[in-house]
Amino acid sequence: MKIGIVGGTGGMGEGFALRWCLKHDIIIGSREAQKAKEAAENYTNTAKQAYGLDTTIAGSITGDDNISLAKNCDMLILSIPYEFIDDMCGKLASQVRSDCIVVSPIVPMTRTDTGFIYIPLEQGKKPAAEMVAERMAPRSRVVSAFHTISEVKLKKVGMSLDADTYICCDDQNVVARLSQLVSEISGLRPVYLGPLSLTYQAEVLTPMLLNAAKQNKMKHPGIKLT
């Protein structure tokens, strides 16, 4: 599969690339093509070192600017901060293929004196994946997931995550394809939550998790249903 990661120069992008390059062709995206190419080269070296000679890396990691990579992907991960959804999706919408799946791991969150808060609840704004769906029609191709996965753990390819990720989407075929990718990350279980309109329930878990981690001095905790 060809997986494009918009904003792939950030920590989550690196983690996704390192985990999925074993089987897939990853294209790291950035607003600057040169920055993306350099990141891709670094991630490739990191992957070779981390997996060692015993593991075959059947995929690849390359870099391009966000707009160019969008034309050529089976799946597009929007790994950018909440604040830039409108601007970036506005530029991407006309570029993506009609059969491209669009994934939102975006968490609308900020820090206040009381702790981490969920922006849509506190400021009357929309959940991230709802904003994405408005700009990246059709809605059925948009799926939200990965909100409670720590980039620190994702980047450690030898580490099993021992966690769930909660998936919201209107199309079961899209859920199945994303769930397969989730399952390729060691110890990560895909758990379907419901249609995209429930994405707020997945997104709001992250500020909850970070508040619990801070108050109880826990390092990069995840969430798992038992």
- Write out the residues near ligand NAP by the rule CB under 6 A: 7, 9-13, 30-31, 35, 79-82, 84, 87-88, 105-107, 146-147, 149-151
Nearest to ligand NAP of 13, 120 (CB atom): 13
Nearest to ligand NAP of 43, 82 (CB atom): 82
Nearest approach in angstroms of CB 146 to ligand NAP is 6
Residue carrying the six token digits 């791991």: 105
Give the residue at shortest CB distance from ligand NAP. Answer: 10
Written as six digits, the tokens of 211 are: 């508040």
Residue at 122: amino acid letter: E
Cα distance between residue 13 and residue 11, in whole Å: 5
User: Is-cis flag, bond preceding 138, omega within 30?
Assistant: yes
Q: How many CA atoms lie within 13 A of 171 on its CB side?
A: 16
Nearest approach in angstroms of CB 142 to ligand NAP is 14
Nearest approach in angstroms of CB 48 to ligand NAP is 22
Nearest to ligand NAP of 12, 174 (CB atom): 12
| DSSP of 150-167 | -HHHHH-TTS---EEEEE
Cα distance between residue 122 and residue 32, in whole Å: 33
Nearest to ligand NAP of 56, 112 (CB atom): 112
Nearest approach in angstroms of CB 95 to ligand NAP is 14
Nearest to ligand NAP of 90, 172 (CB atom): 90
Write out the H or E segment, with its range, that includes residue 12: helix 11-20
Nearest approach in angstroms of CB 80 to ligand NAP is 4
Contact 116, 109 (CB under 8 A): yes
